[in-house]
Each structure stands twice: as structure tokens, then as C-alpha cells.
């Protein structure tokens, strides 16, 4: 590229000028999350429309386990707390604190996925599959998409963890973790909505 030669590299060069004052990556990611909101909004609406339309069992009321899911919801909420701490540690330049924090988020996220895997297999043994009825289709697709998002988040965090451990995540680059954090909190909030609308509300 013609212009590479004129580029200057500073380890701590100031944030480039932006019209809003927000880092471009962060603004873009917020917009993306807005788009994701509509994605999950549509999925949740679909679930709500079909909530009571299954013509054969097993029905949602027979299967959904609120106490168990409350625990997994709590786990996911705690992971968001860990995310806040991890980001704080990285911003303060604590590699060790940051690593523990990120690892905690990843572990809690994986634990949540474990709960989901247990729930899915349990439902499967109760005779609920994707094909069984509208509840099966809409439940697995909705929570499946959410689980896929959590899985992606865990992978993302693990990549960042490696990067951090290799010294690639100094406070000046904490925006990378902040973005992952935005994503993580978003996925968490989506779960709150799913938990409320799918599990709690009759």
C-alpha cells in the first residue's frame, strides 16, 4: 500500500478524533447490539406467539424447571459481575487480576452452558425434540441461539485471556475487552428477558 511508509507508530498515541467522541469500534458495536436486539426480539416474539399453541405434549408447563434455571440464571448474572471486575483490573494494568477475572467469566459462562446442556438432554429424554411440537421447536431454537451466543462469548474471552497472558492486553488496549464485555452483558440481558418470558410468566 502506497501510504504505509508514512504511518507513525506510538504505543500511546492519543485517541483519534471522532465526531461523537466515542471510539469508533465501541460505537459500531453498540449499533450491532441494537441489531441483535431485534434479532432476539423477533425470536422471543415468535416463542410468545406459539407459547400455547402446541397440539401435542410435552408442554412447557410440564417440563420447565424454574428452580434449576434460577440457579443457572444466577450463574450467568455472576459472570457479568466478574466481567466488570475483569475489565477494571485490565484497565488498571493488573494482568493477574484481569486474567482471574476473565477466567472466572469464561468458567461461569461454561457452567451456564453446562446447565443448558443438562436441560436439553433432560427434555430430550422426556420426549421433547425440535420436531415434537411447537414448544420443542420454538424453545430449542430460541434458547439454542442464545446458547450459541454464550458459546461464542466464551471462545472470545478465552482468546482474550491468551492475549492477556502473553502481554497483549495493556490498559491502552482495554477497549478490546470492553467490547467483549458489552457483548457479554448484552447476552446476559437477553437471558434475563428469556428467563422472565419463557420460564417465569405463565
Partner 1 sequence: MATLEARAPVTQPHPTKKKNVVWDLMTTVDHKKIGLLYGVTALFFMVVGGIEATLIRIQLAKPENDFLSADAYNQIFTMHGTTMVFLVGMPIAVALFNYIVPLQIGARDVAFPRLNALSYWIFLFGALFMNSSFLIGQAPNGGWFGYANLTSEQYSPGMNIDFWALGLQALGAASIMGGVNFITTILNLRAPGMKLMRMPLFTWMALLTSFLIVTALPVFAVALFLITFDRFWGTTFFVTQAGGDPVLWQHLFWMFGHPEVYILILPAFGIVSEIIPVFSRKPLFGYAVMVYSGALIALIGWGVWAHHMFATGMGPIADAFFTVSTMIIAIPTGVKIFNWIATMWGGKIRFTTPMLYAIGMLITFTIGGVSGVMHATSPHDLQQTDTYFVVAHFHYVLIGGLIFAIFASLFYWFPKYTGRLMSDRWGKVNFWLFFIGFNMTFMPQHWIGLLGMPRRVFTYSAELNLTGLNQLSTAGVFVQILGVAVLFGNVLWSLKRGAPSGPNPWGGATLEWATTSPPPEHNFNRIPVVHTREPMWLESAAAEDAARGTPEPHIHLPPSSYWPIFTAFGAVLTFVLFLTNLWWAPLIGLTWTTLGAINWAYEPTH
Partner 2 sequence: MALNEAAAVRPGGALARRAAGALSALVLAAAPVSGQEPAYPQTTFQPVSAYGASQNAVFMNTFWWTMGILVLVVLLTLYVAWRFRERPDSPEPAHVHGNVKLEIAWTLIPAVIVVLIAIPTVQTIFENQRRAPEGALQVEVIGHQWWWEFRYPEHGVVTANQMYIPVGRPIDLKMHSADVIHSFWIPRIGGKRDVNPQARAHEGESPSFNHIVFTADSAGYYPGQCAEYCGDSHAIMRMSVVAVAEPDFDAWVAAMQRGDAPAEAPVVAQPAAQLTVPTETGAAQAPPTQATPAQALAAGQEGVRGQEAQGPQPRPLPAPGQVRPPTGIGSAVQPGIPDSIYALQGRQVFGSSVCVACHAIQGTSAVGMVGPSLTRFGARPHVGAGAAENNLANLIRWIRDPQALKPGTLMPGAHKAGGGFPPTGLTDAEIHAIAMYLLSLR
Q: What does the DSSP 8-state code read for residue 169?
A: -
What's the residue count for the chain?
202
Q: Which stretches of the chain bind partner 2, using CB under 8 A? A: 52-55
Q: How far is the CB of 46 from partner 1 (least distance, A)?
A: 7
Of the candidate spans 3-11, 95-103, 109-117, 120-128, the one that interacts with partner 1 by CB under 8 A turns out to be: 3-11
Q: Distance between CA 68 and CA 2 in Å, rounded?
A: 59
Q: Distance between CA 126 and CA 159 in Å, rounded?
A: 37
Q: Distance between CA 35 and CA 137 in Å, rounded?
A: 23
Cβ-contact 135, 198 below 8 angstroms: no
Among 46, 63, 107, 175, binds partner 1 (CB under 8 A): 46
Q: In the chain, where does DSSP find H-type helix? A: 24-49, 60-63, 66-91, 95-125, 134-165, 174-194
By CB under 8 A, is residue 43 in contact with partner 1? yes
- Which of positions 159-178 make contact with partner 1 (CB under 8 A)? 159
By CB under 8 A, is residue 7 in contact with partner 1? yes
Q: Which is nearer to partner 1, 53 or 126 (CB)?
A: 53
Among 116, 117, 133, 200, binds partner 1 (CB under 8 A): 133
Residues that bind partner 1 in the complex, under the rule CB under 8 A: 1-9, 17-20, 22, 24, 27-28, 31-32, 34-36, 38-39, 42-43, 46, 49-50, 53-56, 130-131, 133-134, 136-138, 141, 159
Amino acid at each position: 500500500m502506497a501510504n504505509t511508509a508514512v504511518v507513525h507508530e506510538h504505543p500511546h498515541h492519543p485517541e483519534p478524533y471522532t465526531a461523537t467522541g466515542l471510539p469508533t469500534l465501541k460505537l459500531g458495536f453498540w449499533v450491532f447490539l441494537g441489531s441483535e436486539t431485534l434479532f432476539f426480539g423477533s425470536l422471543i416474539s415468535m416463542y410468545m406467539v406459539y407459547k400455547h399453541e402446541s397440539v401435542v405434549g410435552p408442554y412447557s408447563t410440564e417440563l420447565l424447571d424454574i428452580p434449576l434455571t434460577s440457579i443457572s440464571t444466577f450463574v450467568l448474572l455472576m459472570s457479568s459481575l466478574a466481567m466488570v471486575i475483569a475489565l477494571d483490573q485490565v484497565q488498571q494494568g493488573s494482568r493477574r487480576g484481569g486474567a482471574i477475572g476473565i477466567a472466572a467469566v469464561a468458567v461461569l459462562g461454561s457452567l451456564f452452558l453446562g446447565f443448558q446442556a443438562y436441560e436439553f438432554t433432560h427434555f430430550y429424554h422426556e420426549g421433547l425434540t425440535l420436531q415434537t411440537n411447537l414448544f420443542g421447536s420454538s424453545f430449542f431454537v430460541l434458547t439454542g441461539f442464545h446458547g450459541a451466543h454464550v458459546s461464542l462469548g466464551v471462545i472470545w474471552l478465552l482468546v482474550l485471556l491468551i492475549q492477556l497472558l502473553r502481554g497483549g492486553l495493556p490498559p491502552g488496549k482495554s477497549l478490546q475487552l470492553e467490547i467483549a464485555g458489552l457483548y457479554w452483558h448484552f447476552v446476559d440481558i437477553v437471558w434475563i428477558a428469556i428467563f422472565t418470558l419463557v420460564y417465569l410468566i405463565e
